[in-house]
Amino acid sequence: MDEKELIKIQQETFKSKYNRSEPIRKFNVDDTLYNTVMKTNEKNMNLKYSKYFMFEKNFYNLKDETDRLATALKRDGVKKDDKVGVMLLTVPQVDSTLLAINKLGAISYWMDASLKSNDILHYIIDNNIEEMIVSDPFKQTFDEIINKTNLKRVIFVPVNPFNIKKIKSKDDRFIDYRDFINIKIDQSIQCTKYDREKPSVIVQSSGSTGKSKSIVHTDYNFNNAILKMAYTDLPFHLGKRGFVCAPPWVIYGLVNSIYSGLVLGNQTIFSLKPEEDMIFKHIGEFDYVYAVPVYLRYVYNKMNEYLHSGNIKEYEKIRKKLDKVEMFISGGDKILEEELIKWELMFNTPIINGYGNNELVGAAVVSPLFANKPGSIGVPMYGNIAKTFNPETNEMLENGQVGELAISTDSMFLEYLNNQEETDRIKKFHDNRWWIHTGDLASIDQDNYIFLKGRSKRLIIDKLGYKISPDNAEKLISMNPYVEECVVVGVEIEENNTVPMAFIELKDDYKGNNNIIESIDIFCQENMKDYERPKIFTEIDKIPHKENGGKQNFLLLEQLAKEFVTTNKTKKLTL
């Protein structure tokens, strides 16, 4: 592809009919996170930026808390380029922590709160972290590991805003957040000078394809990610309320859900931890919500239950609350076309698909509010280019052809920390551009809508060399009215003989019904190519998902598949 063709693609993308001609809010992407938030909101400092339980804060409160935290951290010796560890649940102090560390030019290192103590210890030691900001439920963990580290200070943030009891410890390295920031602001502390290439934030990958990796981001790619959101046709108007339950150690939670609210002037309603009924309980309290499909599925099933049981009063109560919701924004996992249509009809509310990953700073593709195509994950966001490539040759494919989805964007990550080999594997320069290769199979239609076709990293290669995408079987099985969810993985039943295996979660009223599983087997035999259909079917009580309720836990399912084959090795498997 020559330069003229690339310029044409870029111009078409930037002028996409699905984007606003002007962003919903203008700001300078070439600035620090701290300056971006403070400068963007200097004329609306009375605007509320957060709500947690019944407590609300405005941007004056944010600036005051951020500046006091920055003063206290500097007093403790935190300086430019130091790494400050963060292990917070979804609480308002995420905002002040992100901005205070950024103001000093230090790097915030966001750790997964579900990590085991040995893993936390590993990250602290390997990154020479001396200061940690942590939610107080994890105090016992730090009691156990602190003497094995070089930590000089652990600052505990209370998750219960009603609890006036403070953290007390004989260890002077432990301090309550409220005591730590009880300090006069040092007005001489100026925000660090902006550097486009300077590492600013480090998050951890979910580890869906193996060991989790530390992903390095800059102020520039964070701000670019929000600018792209500002160009969508989604109603992120000043003062809107967004409900957030995505954890801050994943980029979707930290940037798309939380940091976006600060820059766009929206109020973030924080929900402490993900629970399946969380959105259902809070419908009517927000204008939009960042969710994963499992939460929306719960709302749909609950409303369906009210309808079929004749509980019209409760159904109408939820319907009335849904009238206040402008949109559901879903990411982290796919929504089948059939599900999307059913949910939107039930909710009478648009469901916006988003797609991205940690390396792309969260969402890079989004379905337009007024031009959605069910079954699609949407179109590339403002300034992004999406193409499919032959995963073996990196040859760019024509629209309509299935290949590995790659996205070129100016909000892509800097690198994997201390892992150049893995960085080079996913971040590649070809066709005169840098691309993030997603590992997902997709096709792109003539209108630039993207349709996922499976995951290339999950491709199952059988003994005859056939490359099998689990997506087809999962979609077919999930169409069964008795099935809640299905995941297909590859499992080796004998040396050099890998076959697809289907884990099926039945709906509550049908659990344990072997006749349904047998009928699904027969249905697949009748409707799928022989090499492609699952050879083993097993019912599972609940499909496991990652800690944040998002992506399905493929690694765990693959391990369960191996255990199943080992346990049943004396039995003849139906092939």
Give the CATH number of the domain where residue 506 resides: 3.30.300.30
Cα distances (angstroms) measured from residue 95 to each of 19, 255, 294? 28, 10, 26
Q: How far apart are CA 487 and CA 455, in angstroms?
A: 12
Q: How many domains does the chain have?
A: 3
Residues 136 and 232 in one domain: no
pLDDT given at position 224: 96
pLDDT of residue 463: 73
Q: Residue 404: inside a domain, yes or no?
A: yes
Distance in angstroms (rounded) separating the CA atoms of residues 24 and 94:
24
Buried/exposed code over 392-403 (b: 16+ C-beta within 10 A; e: otherwise): eeeebeeeeebb
Rounded to whole angstroms, how far apart are CA atoms 103 and 55?
A: 25
pLDDT of residue 211: 55
CB 194 within 8 A of CB 39: no
* Number of other CB atoms surrounding residue 75 within 10 Å: 11
Condensed to tens digits (0 to 9), the pLDDT of residues 67-107 reads 999 999 999 999 999 999 999 999 999 999 999 999 999 99
Handedness of CA 435, 438, 443, 448 (dihedral sign): negative
- The residue out of 194, 216, 236 marking a domain boundary is 194
Same-domain status, 152 and 267:
no
**β-strand 427-430 against 433-444: which pairing, if any?**
antiparallel
Predicted local confidence at residue 543, as pLDDT:
93
Phi-psi region of 511 (alpha: psi -120 to 50; beta: other; left: phi over 0): beta
> Is the domain of 172 the same as that of 237?
no
Same domain, 437 and 496: no
Domain holding 520, by residue range, is: 468-567
pLDDT recorded at residue 571 = 45
Alpha-carbon span 480 to 339, nearest angstrom: 12
pLDDT at site 163: 87
Instruction: Look at residue 574 in the predicted model and tell me its pLDDT.
Output: 40
Q: Are residues 174 and 270 in the same domain?
A: no
The stretches in the chain having pLDDT less than 70 are 1-16, 206-212, 333, 456, 464-465, 547-550, 569-575
